[in-house]
Amino acid sequence: MNRGIESWGRDRLGEDDEEEDEEEEEDIVYDDDEDEFGLPSITSMRKKQSQSVGTSQPKPVDPGGGLASNASTLGVGLGNNRHRANSSDIAEERGVPMYPMAGTGEGKILRPQYKEILKDPANGLNLINHAPPPKNASPKEMDMYSTRISRINKFKRLLQTSTVPLPELRNLAWSGVPDEVRAMTWQLLLGYLPTNSERRIPTLERKRKEYLDGVRQAFERGSATSSGNAPSSGAGRGRGLDEAVWHQISIDVPRTSPHIQLYSYEATQRSLEKILYVWAIRHPASGYVQGINDLVTPFWQVFLGTYVTDLNVERGMDPGQLPRSVLDAVEADTFWCLTKLLDGIQDNYIYAQPGIHRQVRALRDLTMRIDSTLAKHLEQEGVEFMQFSFRWMNCLLMREMSVQNTIRMWDTYMAEEQGFSRFHLYVCAAFLVKWSDQLVKMDFQEVMMFLQALPTKDWTDKDVELLLSEAFIWQSLFQDSRAHLRPAGDRSPENDLQ
């Protein structure tokens, strides 16, 4: 095995590179163009990059966070062009995309009843309108239309009860949640919304206020800097922000879902920055880890769609033109639901990320049981599971498929008792085995390049549902056998699989 191959994992999971940190810091410039908390605008953060256009040497970039498509980068120096976060980066550095500013009047139509929906999401259930089927719809299309209307009505009946029966809601959600009822369903399944309708309004008011108070405390008073040094110029000036945390977040947010217009708007990026920073300082055991920024996007996207007439908010939706109360609610709800999700997989993000290492070992053992031919081929080619599946665990496969595919997958994850931990392992196993016929014909370099750019661009909900069904089969076969993954509390490496 050549030196470049041996260093693959080390390059992708290495320690901080001080020289790269210094270079990255020079890419971010802060000026006096700041918001109510003194945070720099996205425009000022990009200023120096726009000045340097034409002078820097272009480098191959994979917008999905993986390897550059140029195969010549494989052998030597992998990882040299990427910034390393404090807790093992999972992606090569992605260039900050440059977008046009939002046009005047750009945005979806705000629901006239948005204030009632802000008060209680259940108020939006009566606003669901079913568009008529196409005039020339085929019998198959009519059946699909009728099935969809029937599912929406089943969800509505459950969600409108005085006490929502969670077991029934989980059973219904496993096969997918209609867009119109997804936000409320997710918030209930995660335990953010109370099942009792009488407690819902005061709980939302309290949690949203608690988050906004936390934002003010974080950015007005600031937290102690990790290094103990006085803040430098720019962000954190006079506020005592944790410079290392804020700096990494300010780098990652503009690169989050760069192919989706929604995430190019300053209002979106500013909200994501606040969500991630407040979460990081409230969870000092882990702090911010690169990859958590991806996990914010499904929540933000789903919750934002609640308040506009067109649920497809990926394009033509400038959140900055919505009322402040709506943005505050979306931001707070996203923060708390992200917190609920991460609470269940916290070991993935604490120091040394032991949860991910256990999951990767479990995936290797599970693959050997499911498809020993594939597992042995990967071993013979010198392919370490850590080299490709670390990202699968860290980002929950979000870098391997679209946000829309991820949203559908999360419907099922939330319906599962341990969807984001245990069931995710079986999804990863099904995902890997899906490509077995191609992988067993490839050498090391071909395997790694293929796994870093899997052909999922055109996946639909049907593809995701097939993957979930296969994962369910593997879970049913192995969860009560010797291959059953032990609970997260059992941290002994030898007990990854029982």
Cα 185-186-187 angle, rounded to 5 deg? 95
Measuring CA to CA, which residue among 269, 328, 329, 266 is closest to residue 297? Answer: 269
Residue 219 pLDDT class (50, 70, 90 cuts):
confident
The one-letter amino acid code at 167 reads P
Q: What is the pTM of this model?
A: 0.77
User: What are the pLDDT digits (tens) for 334-345?
Assistant: 999 999 999 999
Beta pairing partners, 308: 110
**Distance, CA of 240 to CA of 230 (rounded, Å):** 7
367 and 325: one domain?
Answer: no
User: What are the pLDDT digits (tens) for 399-415?
Assistant: 999 999 999 999 999 99
> Per the domain annotation, does 36 fall within a domain?
yes
> Per the domain annotation, does 305 fall within a domain?
yes
Domain that includes residue 54, residue range: 3-73
203 and 305: one domain?
Answer: yes
> Per the domain annotation, does 330 fall within a domain?
yes
> Per the domain annotation, does 59 fall within a domain?
yes
> Per the domain annotation, does 427 fall within a domain?
yes
Residue 348 Cα distances to 21, 88, 323, 395, 400, angstroms: 24, 11, 36, 10, 18
491 and 467: one domain?
Answer: yes
167 and 315: one domain?
Answer: yes
> Per the domain annotation, does 444 fall within a domain?
yes
Which residues, including other chains, have CB under 8 Å from residue 177's CB and lie 6 or more apart? 155, 185, 186, 411
User: What are the pLDDT digits (tens) for 140-154?
Assistant: 889 999 999 999 999
Please compute Rg for the chain using Cα positions.
Answer: 23
423 and 458: one domain?
Answer: yes
CATH number, domain with residue 400: 1.10.472.80
336 and 217: one domain?
Answer: yes
- Mean pLDDT, rounded, of the chain: 79
321 and 197: one domain?
Answer: yes
189 and 318: one domain?
Answer: yes
374 and 397: one domain?
Answer: yes
Tell me how many domains the chain contains: 3
Structure tokens belonging to residue 92? 């090569």
Q: Are 288 and 277 in contact (CB under 8 A)?
A: yes
16 and 119: one domain?
Answer: no
Average pLDDT over residues 69-82: 31
329 and 478: one domain?
Answer: no
Q: Which pLDDT belongs to residue 89?
A: 37
> How many Å is the maximal CA-CA distance in the chain?
69
- Answer whether residue 38 shows pLDDT above 60: no
49 and 117: one domain?
Answer: no
